[in-house]
Structure 1
C-alpha cells in the first residue's frame, strides 16, 4: 500500500502520506488515475493493478529497475495481505464455509422511507470497497469475506455473479429490498446471548470471527464495528476500507485469531484515526 501511495503521488495524484492505509485520499487518487486510464473503479486494488502503477511511476522518473523488482512487490502483497472480499448470502448460506475469517453486516431493522438513503450509502460503500469473492483468484482459505444477507438464494447468486452488469445503485436496491432481517436478528441474538452485550444502536453492526469456525461458540471473542453514527457515503467508505486494512488483511489476526493481546493496538489506532467510530472486542471481560 505504501508503494501504491508513493507511486500515485509521483504520478501527480494526491494519495496523501504513504502511511500504508487505504483511506479516502488514497481511494480518490486511485480512482482519478483509473479515470484517466479508462479503467472502471473497482474498490480495493489487486496486486496486478498495484504492479502496473508502480511500473508507471518508475518509468516516469527514469528509475525503473527492471521487472524483477516489480514482480517482488506483487509477491510481497500476496504473502502479507490476505484478500478481503464480499458475498451476498441467501438462506442456509451463512455461515459460509472454508473462509479463513468472515464478517457479517447486521442491520437491526429493515430500511424504511425515513432511512432508505442511509442504507443505500452503506451498501454502495460495501460494494465499492470490497471485491466479490467470485472475482478474485485467491482460494477461500486465503480470504476474509464480509457477508450481506438476502432472503433469496437465486438473488444472492445473481448479485454475486461475474456477469451481472448492474450499476452499484441498482445492485444495492435489490440487496436492500431483499435484506434478510431474519438472519440478521439471529446473528444479533447469538451475539447477545453468547457475550451478554447490549446492542441498542441503529447499526449496522459489522461482526467479525477469526477463525471462521468460532461463530456461535459461547465465550469466543467477537470483533464488532458499530456503524450507528455513520451518516455519509464517505464515512462508510472510510470505515469499510479501514476494516480491510486493519482487520481483513491483517496477517497476524488471520494467522493467530482474535485475542486481547493482538487487538489492543489495533483498537487504539482505530480510535486515534476515527474518533467516534466504535471498534471493540466483545467477550473480552
Structure 2
C-alpha cells in the first residue's frame, strides 16, 4: 500500500472514531452549533460572530441636538436637553424655595450689582449701536421694557434679597428719557463698560459668546459672578433678527424665575434649566431658544 493511501485510510479512521454513534448527541463548544453533524461557529444575523469586533466598553455617541454647556477647564461638556427621563427634576414651590420677583432697572456700571440683591442678570452689548445693529438693539430694549416690571414700581414689602434684577447698564439712569423707557436713549447711552465687564467675568467662568449679541448674563446668588467654579447662565441672542424672538428670550428669562424658583434661589440647577428651556421652547415652537441658552462652569 502506497504512503498516500495509508494517510487517506488513517484520516478516515479518525473521522469515524470522532463521529457520534447512532443515538449519541454531538457535543459542541458553547460558541458553536451543530449543522449536518458538524460543529460550526455561531453567527449573528448580520455578521459572523468571529468577525465582530470586541470592545471592553461600548461607546455610544451623545444625541445630536442643542445643549446646555458645562465646561470642565478648557474642554466643554455638552449636556443634552432631551434627557429622556434619565434624570429627575423636582420643581420648587413657594413653601420650600423662596420666591424671587423679577424686576428691571437702569444702572451705571459702578453700581452693578446693588447691595443685598438676591440674583441678577445683565443685558450685555458688544458695542453701542451702529446703522447695522440699531434695529436689533432696539428690539432687545423693547422686549426688556415690555417683559419685566421696573424695580421702582415693586412694593417696598418685597425685600431686595428676594428680587431677581435684570440690569440695563446706562450712563445716566436718572435722565427723563430713561424714566419713560425711551429705547433710543437706552441704546445710545448704553454704559459699555457694564456690558464688557459682564462678558469678561462670565468668560472667567468658562462661558463663550457669539460675535454680535446682545446677551443676557445671569448669576445666582449674586456673589458668584466671576467665580470659576460657580455657574453662569447665558442667553446668546446673536442669531435673533425678529421682535418675536427677542420677546421669547425675555419672556423665558422672566417666567422661569417666577414659576420655578428652585432654578435660581440656591444657585442654578443644571437639570432644571435644561428642562425649563426644553419645555418653554417646545411650548412656543422656538427652536432658536434651545441653541441660545447655555449654562457654564469651569
TM-score range, shorter chain: 0.5 to 0.7
Displacement of 1:193 after TM fit?
A: 2.5
Displacement of 1:160 after TM fit?
A: 9.6
User: Which of 196, 199, 202 is matched with 1:188 structurally?
Assistant: 199
Structure 1 stretches lacking a partner, 5+ long: 1-75
> Residues of 2 paired with 1:243 and 1:93: CA distance?
22
Cα pair distance change 1:271/1:129, threshold 3 Å: closer
Residue range with higher mean Cα deviation, 111-120 or 229-238: 229-238
Aligned to 1:203: 213
Cα pair distance change 1:249/1:215, threshold 3 Å: farther
Aligned to 2:288: 276
Equivalent pairs counted in the alignment come to 198
Aligned to 2:122: 104
Residue range with higher mean Cα deviation, 269-278 or 237-246: 269-278
> Residues of 2 paired with 1:174 and 1:160: CA distance?
6
Aligned to 1:214: 224
Displacement of 1:221 after TM fit?
A: 0.4
State the secondary structure of the residue aligned to 1:255. Answer: coil
Moved over 3 A (4+): 158-161, 270-273
Structure 2 stretches lacking a partner, 5+ long: 1-93
> Residues of 1 paired with 2:176 and 2:159: CA distance?
20
Cα pair distance change 1:242/1:109, threshold 3 Å: same
Aligned to 1:141: 161
Counting strand residues as a fraction of each chain, which structure ranks higher?
2
State the secondary structure of the residue aligned to 1:104. Answer: strand
State the secondary structure of the residue aligned to 2:166. Answer: strand
TM-score, length basis structure 1: 0.63
Structure with bigger gyration radius: 2
User: Which of 233, 239, 243 is matched with 2:249 structurally?
Assistant: 239
Counting helix residues as a fraction of each chain, which structure ranks higher?
1
